[in-house]
Amino acid sequence: MRCLCGLLLVAALALTGCSSRAANKTGGSQAPAVLTVGDSDGSGQPDTAAIQQFAAQVKRLSHGSVRVHIVYEAAGSDTPRVEEHVIRAVQAGRFDLGWVGARAWDGFGVKSFTALQAPFLITSKHLLDRVAASRMANEMLGSLSGQRVVGLALVPDYLRHPVGITHKLSSPADFAGARIRIQPSRVTASLMRSLGAVPVEISNEQIGYAIGGKRVDGEELSVQNAVSPAILTANLTFFGKALTLFANQKTFAGLSDDQQRIVRAAAAETVRYVVTHVPPDAWVVNSTCQNRRRIVLATAAERAALLRLAQPVYRMLEADPETRRFIEQIRAWKATTPTDPPIALATPCKHTQPVASAPGPPRPASLLDGTYRWVLTLSDAMAFWGKKNTDSSELPLISTIVLRNGTWRFTGPGTDVGTFTIRGDRLRFVWPRIPSILVFAFTRDTDGTIHLKPVLPMDRGDQFVWSGKPWKRIGPPTRIAP
């Protein structure tokens, strides 16, 4: 369910001075060894299940004697270079472990992972899985030894596609001059320039405002992360994203031999888990249409033309002998690896659904000024999602929202801000970071309690988080920081 990946941000915890309490090789405390892992993303990303699986495996294999504490958004969200900051924090010992995209390492002079971003080379989940589970992955991870860290796993994530915001992105003409938001990476930036686009780096905190201000024309994203307004080119894959799990060298050396074995075994189990449980894009692409996403397919001629434009990136990559060898091996595997199922679009995916309307005469936003709270429990989630589909890991959820002069601020496990307007009995929330617009019909009790009813279309998860319980007014609005 998506409810815990939108509003449910997990704030970066104030653990910058964390260190493990692991017993050293000569023995030590009988208390559980606690390893902190800095995750550059929030708790609601597609890869969250993988890092949580690693933590669960460490606990299981150690019979609870070693625990992993995940610090989400470990570098905050106000800089585009969160992955770089997490790497530096692990190098400095502020976190015991790190979890970032492999793409980030080229900013540290590590070239071993750059073959993974060779343009339009890894275009199937099966091939990405094969690379991540191969000896090549061990070679890539071995290159991290010069970075004061120990590489533990190369974990396959999702394929990365063009996502158009102002227009579709499927042909050279579409990319010409387009401002494409990327995750910081020398290779990704070079690819965008070779296609005629302008790569831009924008933080997660600011991307919604950039889209709203028409300062960006598109992004490179996974199918799962493409949100409205978006036009996803589903059969055009820039590259396959992989994640690196790594440890601070001194921390890892301080673990006992048995603890090191447990951590490595848990890392290997995590790779196997992802290979087994993450479905190919074709299985999930149509389900993304529920959030007003339109999906297009590039023609064979368009894909061939973009590949020709990307050849300068290959020349840059293959100037390094190791990278050239890796690319050649991936090409050979590609010829013998089964392709993913073909993408067939359902009719709703071919058209962008309209945003929910908010008719009626305008009313002053100050009408609802106040601080509100509601609690979503496990029983609420089971009633909404059904017993089999309920994720109880972040429940009960205590949510607080402040409405003040047309501005809202959510606080709780995380923080988000936006604006709202009232027309008739409709309450319209603009959610810049996602970006999204949510519309609810509302009624208000004499004690100030607000009851919300979603106006469709709206993501099911957002329906649950925002309107799963009435908002109880607990006081006047507090000041909302800009």
Dihedral sign (CA 107, 108, 109, 115): negative
Domains parsed from the chain with CATH numbers: 3-349 (3.40.190.170), 362-475 (2.40.128)
Task: Give the closest residue to 447 by CA, choosing from 427, 469, 468, 471.
Answer: 471
pLDDT digits (tens, 9 = 90+) for 402-448: 999 888 988 765 677 888 999 999 999 988 666 678 999 999 999 99
Six token digits for residue 376: 């979503």
pLDDT digits (tens, 9 = 90+) for 358-372: 788 999 999 999 999
Q: How many residues does the chain have?
A: 482
Beta bridge partners of residue 70, listed in sequence order:
37
Beta bridge partners of residue 421, listed in sequence order:
428
Q: Contact, 355 vs 292, CB < 8 A?
A: yes
Q: For residues 470 and 468, give the distance between their C-alpha atoms in angstroms, rounded to a whole number.
A: 7
Q: Are strands 370-376 and 362-363 parallel, antiparallel or unpaired?
A: unpaired
Beta bridge partners of residue 397, listed in sequence order:
376
Q: Is 59 exposed, middle or buried (0-12, 13-18, 19+ CB in 10 A)?
A: middle
pLDDT of residue 11: 32
Beta bridge partners of residue 409, listed in sequence order:
402, 417
pLDDT of residue 352: 56
Beta bridge partners of residue 246, listed in sequence order:
98, 151
Q: For residues 415 and 10, give the distance between their C-alpha atoms in angstroms, rounded to a whole number.
A: 8
pLDDT of residue 3: 39
pLDDT of residue 153: 98
pLDDT of residue 287: 64
Instruction: Give pTM, 2 decimals.
Output: 0.77
Which parts of the chain have pLDDT scores under 70? 1-29, 227-229, 286-293, 347-356, 389-393, 412-414, 432-435, 479-482
